[in-house]
Every structure is written in C-alpha cells, then in structure tokens.
Structure 1
Amino acid sequence: MRARIAALMVTAAGITAATILPAAAATPSPETGAAACATVLNQPCVWQQRDGAGGVVGIAQVSADPGQVTVVTVEVRTQRAWGSPWVTAASATTVTRGSAQAVTPRVVTTDLKMVCATAGPALEAAQQVTTCTGPF
C-alpha cells in the first residue's frame, strides 16, 4: 500500500513539473506583461492580473505569422482542495489572423487558481501548445 501511495505521489509530482516548468520559461510576470511574449512564434505566454477587489483575470498572448489563422484560448482554473480536479472558472477564446490575445472575465475565489492557455495555428490542432502558470 505504501508503495502505491509513493508511486502515485511521484507520478503527480512529474505531471505537475511537466505542466509548470515549461510555463516558467515562457510566462512573463504581471510587471513585464506582453513585452516578453514576442520572442517565440506560436508559443503562448500566460499570466494573471489581480484587481483591488480580490479578483483575478487570466491573460494569454501568442505571436504568429501575420498570414496565419491563429487561435488562443485562456482559462482560469480553480481547485477546491489538494488532489481534487481543476475546474474551469472562466475562459476566453480569440481566433484571428496573426498574433492574438485573450482575456478571461474576472474570477473571485479563495480556492487555489491556475491560468492555462492553448494557442497556435487554428487549422493545425497538432501544432497548438498549452502552457500554464504555477498554482497561486
């Protein structure tokens, strides 16, 4: 039984690391915002901005070739308790030619939050990339 629990913990840690580590390299802080996003084509940048009323919005941006039909979807996900599933609390999608940005509606919650974005060529789903922030 202990071996199963240990294996589950290692698997969960690996999944978390695979989700968070790629985002750490491409995710700008709220202070740098969109300025850091222009460096990698079709790689979404995702970040959150808090407001004074205790809410948060998720923002995602992707740089793309001007002739490319691009999709960007951003979600604010919440988790009520450790180990429970992440639930999408708000989302927004933009489809346009070239670079794109999407902003979710404001979410107010005390639950753990994470912002995820999927972006890339709208007509080639296999080339779309998903990036998430670390839980906050």
Structure 2
Amino acid sequence: MRARIAALMVAVAGITASMAVPASASTTTSGAGEAACITVVNHPCVWLEKDGGGVVGVAQVSPASPTQPTVVQVEVRTQRAWGSPWVTVASATTVTNGFAKAVTPRVVTEHLRMICAVGGPLLDASQRVTSCTSPF
C-alpha cells in the first residue's frame, strides 16, 4: 500500500512539474556573472550583475525562429521610498534577427532597485512579455 501511495505521489509531482515549465523551456547558464535562467521562447530572461559599486541590468530573449525579428528592452528601476513610484534610471534596447540580449549602463544607488525587461517578436507587440526581478 505504501509503495502505491509513493508511486502516486511521484506521478503527481512529475505531472505538476511538467505543467509548471512549458515544453519549449530549458535551463541555461551562460558566461561568468550570468544567472541560470529558464529560457522560454519569446519570453525575456532577466537578471542583474554587480559591477563595481553598482548594478547592471541584463535581459535576453530566445526567438521561435533564428530569423525572427526580435526585440528586448531592459531597465533598471529605483524606488526612493516604500510606496513611491518606480523610476527608470537606465535602459537598453536591442533589435535583431534571432537571439537578442541587452545590457544597461551601470547604476550606482542606495535606493531599492528592480530589473525589468520586455521582449519578444518585433512585429507582433501582443506577443511581447514583461519580466521583472524581485526588488533588492
């Protein structure tokens, strides 16, 4: 009986995991300083890199096709105090065919920070996705 329950739990866990990450997703780790990202087609992967006394926002998008015109825009946003609006202090945009990556200039601030990116097909704005890190 315990073996049947254990087998059922393993099956449920497998089904849940397969539903949580799309079939077109894969985990990637890139060069030094880049975080492990779940790469989903036309969905930006966003992270930060510490650079000296500041941070740099980085985002990348993997297209459905290597010839697809792709856009990615990454922003570093700051918040002066809890409840105040988020303000974009640095941004970068890349438009290219295929894989796209954008890196912001370095930002040095003591305020709360967040990295956000918008990416996806250049010719279909309705298919673009926004991703953000947690505030840090």
Of structures 1 and 2, the larger Rg is shown by: 2
User: Hey, what does 2:85 align to over in structure 1?
Assistant: 85
Cα offset, 1:51, TM superposition: 1.9
- In 2, Cα distance between equivalents of 1:32 and 1:45: 16
| Matching of residue 63 in structure 1 with residue 62 in structure 2 | yes
Evaluate the alpha carbon distance shift between residue 32 and residue 129 of structure 1 in structure 2; reply closer, same or farther with a 3 A threshold. farther
User: Hey, what does 2:10 align to over in structure 1?
Assistant: none
Evaluate the alpha carbon distance shift between residue 51 and residue 29 of structure 1 in structure 2; reply closer, same or farther with a 3 A threshold. farther
Contact preservation (8 Å) 1:28, 1:46: no
**What secondary structure, in the 3-state scheme, does the structure 1 residue paired with 2:123 have?**
coil
- In 2, Cα distance between equivalents of 1:42 and 1:55: 29
**What secondary structure, in the 3-state scheme, does the structure 2 residue paired with 1:126 have?**
helix
Contact preservation (8 Å) 2:78, 2:114: yes
CA RMSD in angstroms, aligned pairs only: 2.6
**What secondary structure, in the 3-state scheme, does the structure 2 residue paired with 1:73 have?**
strand
- What pairs with 1:20-35 in structure 2 (closer than 5 Å)? none
- In 1, Cα distance between equivalents of 2:105 and 2:32: 21
Specify every segment of 5 or more residues in structure 1 that has no aligned partner in the other structure, as ranges.
Answer: 1-25
**What secondary structure, in the 3-state scheme, does the structure 1 residue paired with 2:47 have?**
strand
Contact preservation (8 Å) 1:37, 1:45: yes
Specify every segment of 5 or more residues in structure 2 that has no aligned partner in the other structure, as ranges.
Answer: 1-25
What's the % identity of the aligned pairs? 68
- What pairs with 1:30-109 in structure 2 (closer than 5 Å)? 36-37=36-37, 39-52=39-52, 54-64=53-63, 65-109=65-109
User: Hey, what does 2:122 align to over in structure 1?
Assistant: 122
User: Normalization by structure 1: what TM-score?
Assistant: 0.73
Cα offset, 1:135, TM superposition: 0.2
User: 1:20-70 deviations in whole A, cap 9, x for unaligned?
Assistant: xxxxxx998998865744731101000001123x11000000111211100
**What secondary structure, in the 3-state scheme, does the structure 1 residue paired with 2:134 have?**
coil
- In 2, Cα distance between equivalents of 1:79 and 1:46: 19
Contact preservation (8 Å) 1:57, 1:103: yes
Q: Which has the higher helix share?
A: 1
